[in-house]
Each structure stands twice: as structure tokens, then as C-alpha cells.
Chains A and B, each alone.
Chain A
Amino acid sequence: MVEYSSEVIEKLLKGELPISEIQKMQMEPKDPDRFDKYIKALKQHVDWDDEILMRIHEHLYIIKKENNYVVKCSCGHEFGDYRENWKLKALIFVRDRNELEELYPEPLTPEWSELREFYCPNCATLLWTEALIPGYPINFDFLPDIKAFFQEWLNKTLENVPEFKDLSSEVTESWAKNE
């Protein structure tokens, strides 16, 4: 069975593992205890102490806070229940045609899709970009089934795991009510 030390996983995470080592890693079967070592290594990356359940993004984590499962940025900003699309709580900027030309050469500049940028309201890190047709609902890219993952795949006990359900439309519903 393949196994790596915590130090190797930490180096991989920090981008300090040489490419030759990474290539060897890619050629081997996957190490079954990776998830635990990954989570342990991630704790070194943030200044807060909440329990990390899953890393869903370079800077975003699902953490357990009391009885809630929330999305938290590495800077400490919290986006709320992980079943609500975190982008709904971010800052948004939509590039116009001229601003797109800052990014791409003219013969390739897209004309029919709009580029939306999502920033963390606290640290202003660019967290996500999406290129969709104007009017398209903000995409909820990934909603993990935390309960099935921990209890059925990892055989770990988690308390008060909420139902696996996309709650994003409840956010927009509340916005419409308060309009």
C-alpha cells in the first residue's frame, strides 16, 4: 500500500515538492490516508482554529462551527451555510467589452459571454470567475454530500449533519421578499 509522510503532503500543498517526486506520485496507486493528512496539513495554512472538514477551493473551506457547517475563507471571512452557493455572499464585478480586452487579444475576445468575477468581501482575493451568457443564474459549481462522504465512504462519525440539499434559491427568495 502506498503511503506518504505528512511532510511530503505538506510540501505538495505548499508547491515545494519537486516535479520529479510529483510525477512518481502520479504513477503510483493513490494513498488511502491522503484525506486525513491533507486536512492536517491544511491547518498550517490558516490562522483560525475551526475544524476543517473539507477544502473546496484554494482559499475556501467547509468548517464545522458549533452545529453549523459553513464556508470560510483562509482570511477568516465566513460565507454561511455550505449548502447555499457561497458566491451569493461575495462581491461581484462583471467586465464589459473594453475591460475584457485587458485580458485577451482582440481576435479572441469573447462577445456573447459575460465574465463575472467574485471577490472575498474581506481580503479581496479573486475567488472565482465565470463566463456565462448574460442573465444566466450564478452557477453553484460544487455541493458535496458531506454526510455520505464522511459516514459511508470514510466510516467517520459526524454529528448534526444537515440534509444534502441545495439551499441557494432560499437566499434569492429572501432577497425578493425584502425588495
Chain B
Amino acid sequence: MGIGWNGKSLREMLDEYEAKSESGYYYGIEELKLREDDFFKYERFYYRLLNATLEARERVKFACASPGTRELGELLFLVHAPEGEAAAISLGLMAHVTVVENVIKTIIRENYEETVGIRDGDIFVDNDPYTGGAHPADSRLIVPVFHEGELICWVGSISHELEIGGGTPGSFNPFAVESFTCGERISVERVGEKNQFYPWFIRRLRRNSRAPDLWILDERAKLSGCLIIKERIKEIIEEFGVDYFKQALRELIEEGRRDMEARIKRQLVPGKYRIPHFCPVLYKGEGVPPHADRDYIIHLPLEIEITPEAKIIFSYEGASRWGWHSFNMYPGALESALWLSLIETLLYDGRVTSGGKLQTELIRPIGSITNPDYPYAGDGIPWVILTGEISMSSLAIYLAQFARGYIEECIEIGANWASLEGGGITRFGTSFGFTNFEFSACAQGARPIEDGLVAAAAPWMPETDTGNAEIWEIVLNTASYLYRGVIRNSCGHGKFIGGPAWGSLWVSWKPTVFTIVASGSFSGMISYQPFGLMGGYPAPSWSFFIIRNPEIFEKISNGEIYPGIVELFEHTKNKGLDEEIEVRKGFANSRMAQDRSIFGIIYGGGVGYGDPIERDPEKVAEDVNNGIITEEVAKNVYGVVLEYDESKGVYSVNPDETVEMRSKIRENRKKRGRPVKEWWMEERKKIKEGKLPPYAIEMYKECIEFSEKFRDEFTKFWQISEKDIMG
């Protein structure tokens, strides 16, 4: 006899769910009987369940040690049906709605029920992307909930850990080329029973992290939260009865599916949306093994088809092969990212359950970066790409909502982020390691009705304005903030501007050993967005820099240089000290910071909307006065001529010269613009003659060889043969 409902085994329940859901309805549920019979009782049930998850999150958040969890709330609690689908989800890391269910399904498919047994009080933990997570930094803790001997449901939780061991300090391990060096790996393991962790599990965390207290306390807090939810579920069953509980779980999940279907039909337009993009891998000379020591580009063409049946199909046909880098994506990773973009754009005020997933399909070619056919591919930081996927898929939803007329909903979810990680030994001889999560305040794209925000919450972060910078100094340990500010001209220009990038500057202070690792969304070698919106410009991506000469810090201390990022770059340029700054437009591995080294990150900006010369000139003047753009950009890009009033220290618009300037810009466009046909002829010749940049040729060759679909699209567009490119 199984531990599932009515004596079934969990495996039988999972098989039954999969067979019945082929009808298109979750578990074959065509009628929401409880909802129809007594709507208010049904709603009361849902909110009791939801409140249990919210209560757990709010109560235990401050028991966590990691600022990522405590300050930013990267913490999520969920209630799952026995076969794994989620019925209620707290606020928090909603991207991860699918990844906890993947762990449950692994427990079921690998038959833990019979081999090791699943008992009340058991605790399971997993952080292995191969079994469904996004990356090893996300630790998932799951407990079964029993009622009179039946496994009635599961309670799950997830948090992002700031230091998980591995080859480089932090949580991402961006230079790990195989999974073995991506950090400590816990692969669907029972780590405790009778509601207590095994002592050897705690010891394991302590021995495998540079900052173990953060991880241990997070696990303890998540367990406490799950136990709170277990108590609440017992109360709910007492009030509503176990039969009602079971049926209501099913109906809630199906209702989530119906809500998704209705929103697709109401807000979107069927058709095809294409968003190609690219991730540079900058590993050459960065201390990786010889087979990974090169710079190249990963190709990620996303095609979204919204079908007449209101299904959304995400296809990655044409994507590059998996590779010797840390960005490979196992199933849970992409699933969670794409699902997140739908939650943030379509379902943000809806009932989020796993049911909505039935309205989506994900095509991930076997052997590609989206579905490696090698179980040990580096998977430390697929978020380099995944956050891009969230942003790119939100662009498709943007175009659909725009066509549908819901222009107030159009949003490009800013995810143009960069991460500073580091660790070593403090001056007191203790180990430290961290991931600084201030990058969660990403600039957002412009909307058809207003400018994008400067430093808004990132999509995967529920509570991030990161106003409290000092909290990061606790984990940074040997470094202090010198500056945070907006970087001029870093926005996607447009009629409405994208949020400008901002940057942070730190100084290290007497470390014994301190290495810094920088990583982030794609890299500053390419524009983050593959296109601007409606004539707006895409935003540039991020970059990292470090100055090791302590004299520069002395000059800052003496007041000779203002410690702003722009000022620092201007000073070194003007004084011919360019060589003092090492700038990396992308990943930097283990840069050693000495005493009084200065280092910083310039984060990315948001995409612009509309032709810049249609921007209200008064707003352009405001941008210049606020330090968002320079006077030169105002003139050359926006066509706005400004006059400076020295007595007031402000710029104002010269209306007549602005009209003239904008007219000149239009004339100039007609002069410099060529018919696409003419350009196409020239480019085609270049391709045939092998005159594209080597990194481009390498990418095309790889993808043409690997994907029939991409080969056809590429050769048809350029009207060339495969041999023309492959040689």
C-alpha cells in the first residue's frame, strides 16, 4: 500500500496526473465544483493556505543570517500536491515555482518511497540543477505533510545562498567549466528526520562554504517556516475536512491554468515573435583549463509562438551547443526563467499555481546549451543567460500587449545586472566569501507611456531597492563603499528613456588575501537587448574595473579626486594614467585586490522607447540638469539645443534651434540611410568572402552545423549555400 492518497503510491499518483492532464485540463478537471458550489468557502480555503506560506516567510525571514534572504527576501514557501504541482506560493522568488516541484518529482520517480521510505518529519534538501533547479546557489528544502498516514501534500522552500564553496568565492562560480567545481552539491538528499537536521549535514555545510553560518542559518530558518506551514495545514484540514482539502488543491491548480489561458486570449495576439540574442564567453587568459581557454559567442535565438489555442511555445531551435563554461541550463533553469517572465507580465495580479504551465511548451534541442546531453556540464551561473531570457520574453509580451492596446501593461523587465563576488582571508585571519546582491536594483526599460526606472527591483527579487548599502559591507568584510551613482548617457535613448545604469565603487582595506570575481548578464561586449523598442535604442551592458595603485586612493582621501566613477575615469584619462585602470567589459576571474585597491561595477541600463527626436525637449533639458545625459548627447541624439544659464547653473531649451536641429537630423538620416537591398548585397558579399569577424564566423559555423532550422533561416536570408559559410 502506498503513502499517497487512497492507498496509491506516489508514483501511481504522478502517472495518473500525467495521463489525465493530456486532456489539456490539470488532472482532467473540467469543472471547478467546489468553486461553483460555494465560492466564498473556496476562496477562504485558498487564502488560509496562501496566508500560511506568507506567514512562514515573514516570521522566519529575520532568523536568516544571509542579507540576500533577510534584507532582500530571496526566500519562497510553497504548498505542493503529492505529485509535485504547486497550489499556493508565497511572495518571494516566484521564478522558482517550478524548481521545487522538480525535486518532488525526482523523489517520486527515483522511488524513494520504497527504497528509503518517506516519513512524517523527514527533511529533504537539493541544490542540483541537474535535478531541476536553476543553479547550485538555490537551496531547496522540502518536507512531506502527513494526515492519518497519507502524504497529503508537500511543503517546500527555497533561498539563494551567498557562498556555496567551489573554485571561486561566492555563489555563482562563473569560471567553473564543469559541474564539479560549481560549488557544494546536494542532490535530492534526506538531510534530517523527526524535524531535526542530521549533525553530519550541518557539518557538511560548515566544511564546504567560506561563509557557512549564512547557509546554516538559512536552512534552519526554512525548516522552521515549513514546520509553521505544516501546523497551519493541520488546522485547515480540521476546519474544512480532508476530502475538501484534496479536491480544493486540485481545483486551485486547474484554476491557475484557466486564468493563464484567459489572460493570453485577453491581452496578447497570436503569432510569432523572434528575439535573438548572444552571450559572449570571455575566458581567454582567465585561468580556466586549456580546453575552455577562448573567447567566443553563445547564440540564443528565442522564438515564441502564441497559438490560436492560447498556448505559448518557447523554442530554442538554433541555440549553440552546451559548452565548457558555467552557463549551461538543465531543464529547471529555463523553465523557471520563462515562467517568471509570464508571472511578471501577465499573472502578477493573478492566482499563480503550477497549472498555468500547461498553457506553455518549451522546445530545448538536445545537446544544446538549453539541454546539455552531458550530466556534468558547468551550471554554476546559467542566470547569466536566464535573466536575459526573462527580459527577452518580456519584450515579446510587450509587443503583443502593445498591438492589443493595453499599452499601460507593456514592460521590459530589466535584468541587465552584474555581480561582484569575492572572498579570502580577513586581517583577523578568518575566512570570508560573499555575493553582493545590490545588482538586484536593475534599470528597467522604457514603456510606451513613461520612462524606465533607474534602479527598480529586478524580476527575480521581490523586495529590492537595495537602499541599504551598508548591509553588504558586513559580508564584503574587507571593503567599504566609496560611491554609488548614475552613469551619464548609459540609458537606452528614446522618446521615453530606459533607466540609466548606475555604478558602485569600493575600496579594499587591509585584507590578508582578497580576490574578486565579476560576472553578470551577458557582458559589456554586446548590447544587452537585441533591439530597441519602436525606434528607441538598446542599453549598453555592464563593465568591471579595478585600480590597484594606492596613490589614487590617497588622492581621493586628500580631496584631489571626487570618488565618482565618471570623475575617476576622467581623471585617469586626463592625467595619462589610463593604464592604472583595468577595465573588463565582462567576466573577470579572481582579480587580486590589495590594501586600498579601488574597484567598481557599472551596471547595465534599460531599453529606450520611440525615436529620441520625438522626446519632449523640456524633458531632455531635465535629463541634462539631472546628470542623466550630457549636453552633447542632448544635441546629437535628441536634437535638442540647450543654453546654459551660469547664474542659475541650469540648462534650458532653445526652441528655434531645436526645431532646426531635429530637421537636420531627419535630413542626415536620409543621407546616411541606404536601402536595405543595397546593404544586403554588400553584406552578402562579405559573408561569401569570409570577411565577417572571426567570432561571428565561428558562431555561425557551429550553429549551422548543429541546427537545421538555423541553417535554413541563415542561408535563405542571405541566399547563399551552406558551403559559402562553412567553407
Contacts and interface: CB of A to CB of B under 8 A. Distances in A.
B611 A126 contact: yes
B530 A119 contact: no
A129 B525 contact: no
Interface stretch (B21-29, B488-496, B552-560): B488-496
Interface string B635-669: 01100000000000000000000000000001101
A87 B633 contact: no
Interface stretch (B237-245, B471-479, B675-683): B675-683
Interface string B274-287: 11101010000000
Contacts of A142: 271-274, 396, 399-400, 403
Contact of B405 (A34, A94, A135): A34
A18 B147 CA distance: 53
A126 B681 CA distance: 22
Given A58-B535, A112-B297, A172-B717, A131 B270 contact: no
Contacts of B542: 108
Q: Which of A30, A105, A111, A172 has the most CB of B within 10 A?
A: A105
B585 to A, nearest CB: 7
Contacts of A19: 450
A175 B670 contact: no
6 contacts: A30-B263, A88-B677, A106-B569, A111-B585, A153-B308, A166-B272
Given A91-B676, A139-B275, 13 more contacts: A27-B349, A105-B490, A107-B524, A113-B526, A115-B527, A127-B534, A129-B536, A129-B537, A131-B526, A133-B695, A135-B686, A137-B718, A142-B274
B308 A145 contact: yes
A144 B271 contact: yes
A125 to B, nearest CB: 5
Most buried by B among A107, A137, A141: A107
Across the A-B interface, the 6 shortest Cβ-Cβ residue pairs = A91-B673, A38-B405, A131-B527, A137-B717, A176-B719, A108-B540
Interface in A151-179: 152-153, 164, 166, 168-169, 172-173, 175-176, 179
Query: B-side binding surface: helix, strand, loop or mixed?
Result: mixed
A175 B677 contact: yes
B448 interface: yes
Nearest to B583: A107
Interface residues of A, number: 84
A12 B680 contact: no
A138 interface: yes
Nearest to B526: A113
A46 interface: no
Contacts of B636: 102
A92 B569 contact: no
Contacts of A131: 526-527, 529-532, 538
A64 interface: no
Contacts of A176: 684, 719
A149 B681 CA distance: 36
B669 A93 contact: yes
Contact of A169 (B406, B408, B672, B716): B716
Given A92-B676, A139-B530, A12 B407 contact: yes
Contacts of A168: 717
Interface in B695-727: 695-697, 699-700, 713-714, 716-719
Interface in B297-330: 297, 306-308
Contacts, number: 268
B269 interface: yes
B308 A148 contact: yes
B318 to A, nearest CB: 11
Interface in B450-491: 450, 487-490
Interface of B: 263, 265-267, 269-276, 278, 280, 297, 306-308, 349, 396, 399-400, 402-409, 448-450, 487-490, 493, 495, 501, 524-527, 529-532, 534-538, 540-543, 545, 566, 569, 583, 585, 602, 604, 609-614, 632-633, 636-637, 666-667, 669-670, 672-677, 679-681, 683-684, 686-687, 692-693, 695-697, 699-700, 713-714, 716-719
Contacts of B276: 132, 136, 139
A12 B449 contact: yes
A141 B274 contact: yes
A27 B632 CA distance: 40
Contact of B532 (A59, A128, A135, A173): A128
A12 B527 contact: no
B458 to A, nearest CB: 19
A138 B610 CA distance: 19
Contacts of B699: 133
Contact of B537 (A103, A121, A133, A173): A103
A87 B692 CA distance: 22
A128 B276 CA distance: 15
B449 A109 contact: no
A149 B673 contact: no
Interface of A: 9, 12-13, 15, 17, 19, 22, 25-27, 30, 32, 34-35, 37-39, 54-59, 87-94, 102-113, 115, 117-119, 121, 123-145, 148-149, 152-153, 164, 166, 168-169, 172-173, 175-176, 179
B535 A126 contact: yes
A111 to B, nearest CB: 5
Contacts of B714: 137
A179 B692 CA distance: 21
Contact of B404 (A22, A34, A90): A34
Contacts of B540: 104-105, 108-110
A91 B674 CA distance: 5
B408 A135 contact: no
A128 B535 contact: yes
Q: Which of B306, B450, B537, B583 has the most CB of A within 10 A?
A: B537
Contacts of B278: 112-113, 132-133
Given A37-B405, A132-B530, A172 B271 contact: no
Contacts of B695: 112, 133
Nearest to B524: A108
A104 B526 CA distance: 12
B286 to A, nearest CB: 17
Contacts of A15: 449
A111 B543 CA distance: 12
B531 A173 contact: no
Contact of B541 (A108, A115, A123): A108
Nearest to A125: B611
Contacts of A35: 404-405
A76 B670 CA distance: 17
B524 A110 contact: yes
Nearest to B719: A176
A179 B267 CA distance: 44
